[in-house]
Amino acid sequence: MKVIYKITYPNGKIYIGKDLTDCINYFGSASSKLIEKDFNRSQRKDFKIRKEIIWESSSATDKEVNQKEIYYIHEYSSNNPEIGYNQWPKFKQKKEIKK
């Protein structure tokens, strides 16, 4: 089974990732340096995260899974630093049109 998952951290920020092997113990490759900036020493002593499978397929190709991952990163805006920890695809701030 190939899956797309959403990790939710105690601060509410999320990370979207893929796992081509459906390993129960895989929690992605989010940047530890980026995440640790959001938590002080005390908060790190009791730390719970939630992993949700948000999409799965037994027949999708690796290419299709990669496309789904990007879709969900955009869908959840997890590449927006205020919302999540995905660093790719690069978040593009929408420019406001002044009247």
Instruction: Give residue limits of the domains in the chain.
Output: 2-76
Helix or strand (DSSP H, E) at 54: strand 50-57
Using only the alpha carbons of the chain, give its radius of gyration: 15
Tens of pLDDT, residue by residue, the chain (99 residues): 999 999 999 999 999 999 999 999 999 999 999 999 999 999 999 999 999 999 999 999 999 999 999 999 999 999 999 999 999 998 887 766 666
pTM recorded for the entire structure: 0.90
Query: What pLDDT sits at residue 42?
Result: 96
